[in-house]
A and B are shown apart, each in its own frame.
Chain A
Amino acid sequence: LAKTTQPISMDSYEGQEVNITCSHNNIATNDYITWYQQFPSQGPRFIIQGYKTKVTNEVASLFIPADRKSSTLSLPRVSLSDTAVYYCLVRRGGADGLTFGKGTHLIIQP
């Protein structure tokens, strides 16, 4: 599976838009890009998943360029409760589990 690289930490303020970029240079044709959020003392929670171009749901948008070697998770108008660790993962079809990196620790300040 393609290795992912993302910033270890980021800071922002309430009401701002936050963009977290992840690189996955060796992504394969049948791989999907998926993002999870984890709060302290909780299991990861699915945020969004995409294959190419742009995907939007009620909490985030995911931008994937044509070469698919990177992706950007966009969180609009963040609040203090968005402080969490965000994991970018490359998922292959099948059911052999997800491979997690260290994620990005996002800290939102008032």
Chain B
Amino acid sequence: IAGITQAPTSQILAAGRRMTLRCTQDMRHNAMYWYRQDLGLGLRLIHYSNTAGTTGKGEVPDGYSVSRANTDDFPLTLASAVPSQTSVYFCASSDFGHYTFGSGTRLTVV
């Protein structure tokens, strides 16, 4: 089934550790995104990429980095995790304004 695959589905991470959340799409969409969702809140955009080789900062980019080496993959890296980065992370892609989201990665930083 075409869509977004995120890994891992959940992770408990010690503060200060480095972590990469993986995201792969098989729809050949040019644009991809990373959001975080905290309890009771809507999604907030972390970083985005309009096409392979380009990235941009969203609303809450601090502490996160992304890369877009090819169309299908858009990994999100936390260089040194902090407890405030405990959240559910969603990857998405879009084509002509229609966004498809993954099932999320639940990250707990302790």
Contacts and interface: CB of A to CB of B under 8 A. Distances in A.
Given A95-B50, A96-B48, A44 B40 contact: no
A101 to B, nearest CB: 5
A99 B43 CA distance: 8
A42 B4 CA distance: 12
B33 interface: yes
Nearest to B6: A43
Interface string A73-110: 00000000000000100010101111111110000000
B71 to A, nearest CB: 13
A81 to B, nearest CB: 18
Task: Tell me if B's interface is mostly helix, strand, loop or mixed.
Answer: strand
Contact of B104 (A41, A97, A101): A41
A93 B97 CA distance: 7
B30 interface: yes
B90 interface: yes
Interface residues of A, number: 22
A43 B102 contact: yes
A97 B58 contact: yes
A13 B41 CA distance: 25
B63 interface: no
B45 A44 contact: no
B83 interface: no
B98 to A, nearest CB: 6
A45 B101 contact: yes
A101 B104 CA distance: 18
Given A43-B92, A91-B97, A95-B50, 17 more contacts: A34-B97, A41-B104, A43-B102, A44-B90, A44-B99, A46-B98, A49-B97, A49-B98, A93-B97, A95-B30, A95-B48, A95-B94, A96-B56, A99-B45, A100-B43, A101-B42, A102-B42
